[in-house]
Structure 1
Amino acid sequence: MKLLLIVGLSLLTNNVVYGDIGQHVLQDKNMPLTKSVAIIGGGASGTSTAFWLSNVFPSDGKIQVVSTIFEQSDYIGGRSTTVPIKDDDSLGTIELGASIFVEANKNLMTAAKKFNLELTQLTGVESARPGLGIWDGKELVFEESGSYWDTIKAVWRYGFTPMKFQRKQKEVVEKFLELYDTDYGFENIAKIVDTLGFNSLFNQSASDYLKKLGVNKRFSNEILQTATRGNYCQDLNTLHGLAV
């Protein structure tokens, strides 16, 4: 009976130490700790998450992270990539939505420098770009001509609403940019919203938000809603206030 007990303890010890039955109760302190991370989506957020995890936890460190990206498409990049028009390379390519690349987007600028991407400064765009025209489905209700008369026409149609809106928009953007100066991360979006004090913007539609700001309804419908339809395929009454 005593011999049988010793044999049983020996088998149990072997199983725990060497993991013959898949258990990991004991671990050599000199061996690195391995963690697996599943990342859903291979867009800008997913791929950058995998990249920075590999930098924070290098392969030769005491903690090793193995990241796996699950992407339903046969390419990565999400909206920050281009695809052939109608799947036909001869027709050229079209970007899928990440069309805004400005200095204020510090993450994108940092990524461009990190990967040694060459930045090209466009020149002569303003002079070559056609003037703004607003079509209501029947006629052009506003059209730039390139002269000082454009300002007078804009004030006549929209009042001083454009300037009022730009001031408020600048205030919100400057508040948002404070995120870049924080020295810690956020566990979820809700904490970011709470930290920035944007709760009210998410708890009302863009149309209600603009109305409370005293933004001219004509400006909202003809200018701002045109932009939200192009960017989000949504009208102002279906978006939250931060979207504008």
Structure 2
Amino acid sequence: MRLVVAAVALLILIAQVSSQLLFPVNQLPFRLGGNSTAAGGAGVHWVEKRVPRIAVIGAGAGGSSAAYFLSHFAQLKDLGLETDVTVYESSDHVGGRSNVLWPWNDDPLVDPRPLGATQNDTEYEPPVEMGASIFVSANSNLQKAVREFGLELDAYGGENGRTAVWDGERWVYEEKGAFGWGWWSKVKAVWRYGRSPFKARSLVKSTVDNFLRLYSADFVSQGAFASLANFSTATHLAGPASHYADEYLTHSGVGELFTDELISAATQVNYGSPITQIHGVGALVSLAATGATSVHGGNRRIFEEFVGRSGARLRLGETARVQSILKLDATKGKRAQWVVKTTSGVGGGTYDAVILAAPFHQSGIQVVNAVAASLIPKQAYVKLFVTFLITNASTPQPSYFDLPPDTHMPNEIFGTFTTPSRHKPTFNSLNYLKPLPAALGARFGEGTFHVVKMFSSRSLEPEMLDALYGRGNVAKVVEKVWLAYPELRPVKSQGDFAPVRPDEGLYYVNGFERLISTMETETVSSFNVVSLLLNDLFDYTPPTSWAEWDDGEAAAS
């Protein structure tokens, strides 16, 4: 999803902060303390002569990286960490909620490149992201993956123009000209919001600085965590995660006007929730959104590389949809096993461990002969409508906003829903992504046609789009409905978190989303799950994160 809120980033003055969605950590020891629930134990260490078989369910950021991390450890010389991995993915692509489309084509989901063409062909128009859209320099796992896999990065942004924040009745903020760090914008921010932008900057900078330590040897070598409640306490997330963001920010000294007008716009575009319906961690990470980039041809290419380079078997498509996982209780001196059954009856099998890397209650998977299902709390997700338009209107119509016809209009608009306006915005965000090349635009008529991306909480009616862009100016509409990210309501007790290890040999990646949901943090969670699994099986603790891994030093140790 579009996570760059340039206007907000400008006002909070975080020019040196280059992060996306981050959380504070420290170096306190937090050895496995477990939840207060009866989550499963580690089980006995691996004693079989054969290699353990691992099933990974889901091939999004979490599942694909889990498969890759397992292969990474399997290749470390003489450590005996080999595993035999099968990945199950019920959709027709690797990448989960990271996916692309070509909205100007007859079938937007079909790659139009001829067989054998590459992402860099000059006649090929790259797709646009319809899911997870960006990552940044502080997202260490993804940045390392880009380097390791030789992928090309594109600076993420839209067409040049103007930015505004709209509350349904008026612009509460406007950025004139191109984005920048002009002194006048800073003066205006201080004049209107006092020290709130600086206080917000301080909170975000502290978050970023602490987050970067997450990858360090000092942090990782303490061991994987099995309790998100313990983790949130040890990393000082428990406080902001336990309060609504407006309450937390007020308590932290950030003014109500700044919070309602601008921070709420950031949380709305980042997580589909206003400041009054999201916890403090969600608000903090929504502000850390500068330095955005994306992979040329789609971010899902990272996850395709993860799976492809892992050597894992990939079961893809509807026939690979997992119907149930059945626990076979451990016999004396042995470990419990898991039987994976697909809805098609094809490609299942018996495994020594299962990594569940999909939202459990969305997956429809039945867990048999295990308490795991009762330990994973139901998690509501935000239903987001992502609408792509092909239009020959260079900006929205002033009349839609009750403005004079000669108004110089913005082409990037964010909605804020917490100011005291009588009428609320009809969409969360609007962004002109790019003009179509002439050859593609000619399919729709004369003149320049633009690709516009909009987020909203409901489907956008044709009449509304006509009013917004002008009757007859919308040539094509493509709508995608996502359960895009979890509702980040305040965490009130340990029971709000799912255990990382719900049962012996069963590991849950997506429980981490209760704290925060991004591509990077899914890979962080999967690395933790893999670390926990390796400790359970082989009594092995990684010396550092994959992002900071030195293969020579690790092998020598």
TM-score, scaled relative to structure 2: 0.35
**Cα distance, 1:108 vs. partner?**
0.7
The C-alpha deviation readout for 1:87-139, integer Å capped at 9, x for no partner, is 5258973314433322111111111122122345x49x79x743432222122
1:64 aligns with 2:64: no
Aligned to 1:159: 194
In 2, are the aligned partners of 1:134 and 1:140 still within 8 Å (CA)?
Answer: yes
Residue 220 of structure 2 aligns to a residue whose secondary structure is coil
Q: Quick check: 1:176–1:196 contact (8 Å CA) kept in 2?
A: no
Question: Which residue of structure 2 lines up, in the alignment, with residue 111 of structure 1?
Answer: 145
User: Aligned letter for 1:100?
Assistant: I
Structure with bigger helix share is 1
Give the aligned partner of residue 100 of structure 2.
82
Aligned to 1:4: none
2:213 counterpart of 1:178: yes
In structure 2, what is the Cα distance between the partners aligned to 1:231 and 1:187?
Answer: 27
Once the two structures are TM-superposed, the CA of residue 56 in structure 1 deviates from its matched residue by 1.0
Aligned position for 1:141:
172
CA-to-partner distance for each residue in 1:189-244, whole Å, 9 max, x for gaps?
33432331221122111121111112121211221111111111112222221112
Which has the higher mean CA deviation after the structures are superposed, 64-73 or 157-166? 64-73
Within the candidate set 149, 155, 161, 1:130 is matched to 161
Structure 1 pair 134/84, CA: closer, same or farther in 2 (3 Å)?
Answer: same
Letter in 2 for 1:237: T
Provide the C-alpha distance between the structure 2 equivalents of 1:112 and 1:92, rounded to a whole number of angstroms. Answer: 18
Residue 68 of structure 2 corresponds to residue 51 of structure 1: yes
Kept after mapping to 2: 8 A contact 1:32/1:64: no
Q: Give 1:236's aligned residue.
A: 275
Structure 1 residue 203 and structure 2 residue 238: aligned?
A: no
Shift of 1:79: 2.9
Q: 2: distance between equivalents of 1:116 and 1:92?
A: 17
* Mapped pair 1:41 → 2:58: yes
Taking the aligned partners of 2:267 and 2:171, their CA distance within structure 1 comes to 19
Q: How many Å separate the matches in 2 of 1:174 and 1:224?
A: 20
Q: Is the 8 A contact 1:32 1:63 kept in 2?
A: no
Rounded Cα–Cα distance in structure 1 between residues aligned with 2:162 and 2:280: 28
Deviations 1:19-60 (A, max 9, x none): xxxxxxxxxx9x842212222321111101101101212499
In 2, Cα distance between equivalents of 1:233 and 1:87 = 27
**Per the alignment, do residues 187 and 69 of structure 1 end up closer, same or farther by CA in structure 2, a change over 3 Å counting?**
farther
For the 8 Å contact 2:164–2:175, the answer to whether it is kept is: yes
Q: Please say if residues 99 and 129 of structure 2, whose CA atoms lie closer than 8 Å, have aligned partners that are also in contact.
A: yes
Map of 2:519 onto structure 1: none
Q: In the aligned structure 1, how far is the partner of 2:190 from the partner of 2:160?
A: 22
**Structure 2 counterpart of 1:93, one-letter code:** P
Deviates more, 1:133-142 or 1:206-215: 133-142
Q: Report SS of the residue matched to 1:64.
A: coil
- 2:496 aligns to what? none
Which deviates more, 48-57 or 149-158? 149-158
The one-letter code matched in structure 1 to 2:69 is: W
- Give the residue type in structure 1 aligned to 2:89: E
* SS in structure 1 of the partner of residue 273 of structure 2: coil
- Deviation sequence 1:46-82 (CA, Å, 0-9, x none): 1011011012124997553122223232111123332
Partner AA of 2:277 in structure 1: T
Between the aligned partners of 2:225 and 2:60, the Cα distance in structure 1 is 20
2:163 corresponds to which letter in structure 1? L
Shift >6 Å, 4+ stretches: none
Total equivalences in the alignment: 212
In 1: Cα distance, 2:165 partner to 2:76 partner: 55
**TM-score, normalised to structure 1's length?**
0.74
Contact 1:186 1:192 in 2 (8 A): no
Quick check: 1:102 aligned with 2:136? Answer: yes
Q: Could you tell me whether the CA contact under 8 Å between 1:158 and 1:218 is conserved in 2?
A: yes
Say yes or no: does 1:218 pair with 2:257: yes
SS for the counterpart of 2:51 is strand
The aligned counterpart of 2:510 is none
Distance in 1 between the 2:76 and 2:241 partners?
Answer: 41
